[in-house]
Chain A
C-alpha cells in the first residue's frame, strides 16, 4: 500500500531531523522556501483539508444545480452537527462507534493490509456482548460490563484475525475475504437474532433479550454522551503509542513498508500481522458492545447502521493515523447527525449526507497523488 510506505518514510524522516543536508539540497533550499522538519506534518494536514474543501465545493455545486442554496445547506450541517450542546451530543454519540470501526481499518493498515470488514466484527461483537449481558443478569454490573467488553473484543478480534490468517497462510486477498466475512457475520447475526436467541417479547423487531438497565453503560458526568466515546479515545491513544513509540509498533510498520525486508531482518511477520488484525477487530467488536450496552440495550438489526463502512472513510481521511481518527470521526459524526436537519428544513433525502461523504472519500483518495509534489513540504535535506 503506497500510503503506508509514505507514512513510514515520513515517520522515519521526522524522527531523524539531524541528517546533514547535501550541498546540492542546501543550495536548493536557499532558493525554495520549505517548512523544514515540520514539512511532512503540515503536508499530512494540508492535503486532506484541501481535498475536503474541494469536496465541499463540488457538493455545493451539485446542490446549486438542484436549486438548493449551498450556503444554506452548509449552515444547516453546521447547525445540525456542531452549533448547540444538543447537536454536539448527537455528534459525539455517532463519533464513538466510528472511532472504533476506523481503528479496525487503520491498525491492519500499519502492516499494509486493507481490511474492510469492520461491519461484521461490529455485529458479532455486539451480539456476543448482548448474550453475555443477558446471561450474567444479577451479577455485579461492573463485572458484567467488563465481561461484555472482553467478549465483544475477543469475538471481533478473532473474526478479523481470520482474514489476516487467510492472507498470511493461504495468500487470499484480505480486502475480499474480510468483505465476505462481513456478509457471513451478518447472516450469522440474523440467524441468531431471529432464531435461537430471539426474545419472544420482541414482536415487530426481532431482538435478543435486553441486558437490563443495571448493565447499561452510563454517561459522562454532566454530559449526555455515553462512555463509548471514552473507550474510543483511550483505544486510539493507546494504539498511537503502541504503533509509533514502541519497538513492536516499529516492527509492524516495517512489515507495512516492505514485508520481504521485514522477513529477512527476522521479524515475526505472520504474528505481527495477526496481532494487528486482532487489535483492529477487537476495536470493532468493542464498537458493537458500546452500541448494545449504551444505545440499544439489546442486539437487533439497528446495530448494522453502516458504522463499519463509514469507519473506512474515517481511517482514510485520517491517513491511518490512530490519533487523527478522533477529530475526523467527530467531523463525520457531525455531518451524519445533520442529516435529519437537512431532511426537516430543506426536504432533502436523508441520503444527502451520503453523497457528501462519498464525494469527500473519492477526492481524499485522489489527493494521494499530491504527496511529495510540493517542495514547500519537503523536509530539510530531502
Chain B
C-alpha cells in the first residue's frame, strides 16, 4: 500500500498513533493522582508539577547530556512539590483543593522563571522504540513509534493495581483513604501516609512532564503543557480510582485529542479547535451520566472531599 494513498484510513491510524504518542503524560499524571486520591486527598496542582517536571527534565538533560537523568530529576522535582502540598495540607483547617490551585500557580511560575535560559538550547531527547517495521507504510511506522516511558507507564499501571490489592503498603493507603478513623485506630499516622502518597503522586507527575519536554513535543517552552495535569483529576474519576482503567482512559484521551489533527490530514479543517475540546466534553458528559446527588461514585475513597 502506498503511504500517500491511505485516504480515510489515515484518520484511525492518526488517532491510534496520537493515542500512543500523547497518552503517556495523561497516564503518568493519572497514576500519580490515583495514588494521592486513594489516600483520601486530592491534588489539583499536578499541572504545576507537570510543567516543573518538564522544565527540570529538559534542563538536566541539557546539562548532563543524559535524558534518563533528566527523567529522574523531573521525578524528584515533582516529589518535592508534592511534599509541599502534603505538608501544607497536614495543617488543620487547610483545604486540599485550594492548596492544589496554589501549587498549580506556584509550580508553573517557578518553571517559567527557572526555565527561561533553557528555551533556546536543544537537549538530547529520549530514544523511541519502533513497532512498525513489519509495515511498508510510513504512516503506520510513524504511528507505532513508542516511547519507553509509555511502556514503563503501562507496567506501572498493572503493578499499582496489584499493589493496592496485595501489599501492606497498598492496603494502608486504601484504609487511610477510606476511613481515617479506622486507620488511626490501627495505629497508622494518617497525615504521614497522605503526605507520602502525595509525594509519590508528584514523582509520577514530574516524570509525565519530562515526557513532554524530552520525547513529544521534545523541547521546553512555556506553552508546552495543554492542561494534561488539570485533566488528571477528571481522568481518575473517569477511571473510578482503578490504575488499569487509568491506562485505558489515558489512551482514550490521547486519541480524542488527536482527532483534530488526524481529520485535518484528510482535508477536514473546519472545527479544528472544537475537536481540541473533545476530551473535556467527553469527561463532562461521562460525569453528567454517572454522578448522582444521592450516592457517591462506585470505587471512590470514602475520605475524598470531592465525592463526599
Q: Which residues of A contact B (CB under 8 A)?
A: 1-3, 114, 116, 166, 168-173, 175-177, 179-181, 183-184, 187-188, 190-191, 194-195, 309, 312-313, 316, 348-352, 354-359, 361-362, 364-366, 368-369, 371
A171 and chain B: residue at smallest CB distance:
B293
In the assembled complex, B276 has its CB within 8 A of some CB on chain A: yes
B284 pairs with A361, CB closer than 8 A: no
Q: Which 6 A-B pairs have the closest CB atoms?
A: A358-B106, A354-B109, A351-B112, A187-B277, A171-B293, A369-B91
B8 nearest CB across to chain A (Å): 23
Q: Which residues of B contact A366 (CB under 8 A)?
A: 88, 91, 94, 99
A58 nearest CB across to chain B (Å): 11
Residue from B88, B105, B233, B283 within 8 A of A309 (CB atoms): B105
A358 pairs with B95, CB closer than 8 A: no
Kindly state the separation between the CA atoms of A95 and B235 in the bound complex, as whole angstroms. 35
B contact patch SS: helix
Given A176-B306, A316-B98, A368-B93, the answer on whether A357 and B292 have CB atoms closer than 8 Å is no
A187 pairs with B44, CB closer than 8 A: no
Q: Which residues of A contact B1 (CB under 8 A)?
A: none
In the assembled complex, B107 has its CB within 8 A of some CB on chain A: yes
Q: Which residues of A contact B280 (CB under 8 A)?
A: 180, 183-184, 187
B233 pairs with A170, CB closer than 8 A: no
Identify which of B63-71, B147-155, B248-256, B266-274 touches chain A.
B266-274
A365 pairs with B95, CB closer than 8 A: yes
Interface residues of B in 172-211 (CB under 8 A from A): none
The proximity string for B residues 143-168 relative to A, scoring 1 for CB distances below 8 Å and 0 otherwise, is: 00000000000000000000000000
Q: Which residues of A contact B109 (CB under 8 A)?
A: 351, 354-358
B284 pairs with A365, CB closer than 8 A: no
A132 nearest CB across to chain B (Å): 22
Given A171-B291, A176-B306, A187-B274, the answer on whether A114 and B98 have CB atoms closer than 8 Å is yes
Q: Which residues of B contact A191 (CB under 8 A)?
A: 271-274
Kindly state the separation between the CA atoms of A312 and B288 in the bound complex, as whole angstroms. 25
Kindly state the separation between the CA atoms of A240 and B97 in the bound complex, as whole angstroms. 25
Q: Which residues of B contact A351 (CB under 8 A)?
A: 109, 112-113, 116, 222
B296 nearest CB across to chain A (Å): 8
Residue from B101, B103, B110, B293 within 8 A of A170 (CB atoms): B293
In the assembled complex, B108 has its CB within 8 A of some CB on chain A: yes
Residues of B within 8 A of A (CB-CB), count: 49
Q: Which residues of A contact B306 (CB under 8 A)?
A: 173, 175-176
Kindly state the separation between the CA atoms of A313 and B102 in the bound complex, as whole angstroms. 8
B155 nearest CB across to chain A (Å): 29
Residue from A171, A176, A194 within 8 A of B233 (CB atoms): A176
Q: Which residues of B contact A194 (CB under 8 A)?
A: 273
Point out which of A3, A179, A183, A190 has the most chain B C-beta atoms below 10 A from its C-beta: A183
B4 nearest CB across to chain A (Å): 28
A315 nearest CB across to chain B (Å): 10
In the assembled complex, B227 has its CB within 8 A of some CB on chain A: yes
Kindly state the separation between the CA atoms of A352 and B92 in the bound complex, as whole angstroms. 30
A251 nearest CB across to chain B (Å): 20
Kindly state the separation between the CA atoms of A190 and B91 in the bound complex, as whole angstroms. 41
Kindly state the separation between the CA atoms of A56 and B84 in the bound complex, as whole angstroms. 18
Kindly state the separation between the CA atoms of A177 and B287 in the bound complex, as whole angstroms. 9
B274 pairs with A170, CB closer than 8 A: no
Given A195-B270, A369-B91, the answer on whether A355 and B113 have CB atoms closer than 8 Å is yes
B228 nearest CB across to chain A (Å): 11
Residue from B95, B276, B284 within 8 A of A187 (CB atoms): B276
Interface residues of B in 254-300 (CB under 8 A from A): 270-274, 276-277, 280-281, 283-284, 287-288, 291-294
A179 pairs with B110, CB closer than 8 A: no
User: 26 A-B contacts, Cβ less than 8 Å apart?
Assistant: A2-B93, A2-B95, A166-B287, A168-B293, A170-B292, A173-B307, A176-B233, A176-B237, A177-B287, A184-B281, A187-B274, A188-B277, A195-B270, A195-B273, A309-B105, A351-B112, A358-B103, A358-B107, A361-B101, A362-B88, A362-B106, A365-B88, A365-B98, A369-B91, A369-B92, A369-B93
Q: Which residues of B contact A369 (CB under 8 A)?
A: 91-94
B270 and chain A: residue at smallest CB distance:
A195
Q: Which residues of A contact B230 (CB under 8 A)?
A: 179, 183
Q: Which residues of A contact B291 (CB under 8 A)?
A: 170-172
Given A169-B293, A177-B284, A191-B273, the answer on whether A349 and B116 have CB atoms closer than 8 Å is yes
Q: Which residues of A contact B92 (CB under 8 A)?
A: 369
B241 nearest CB across to chain A (Å): 14
In the assembled complex, B212 has its CB within 8 A of some CB on chain A: no
A159 nearest CB across to chain B (Å): 13
Interface residues of B in 31-54 (CB under 8 A from A): 44, 48
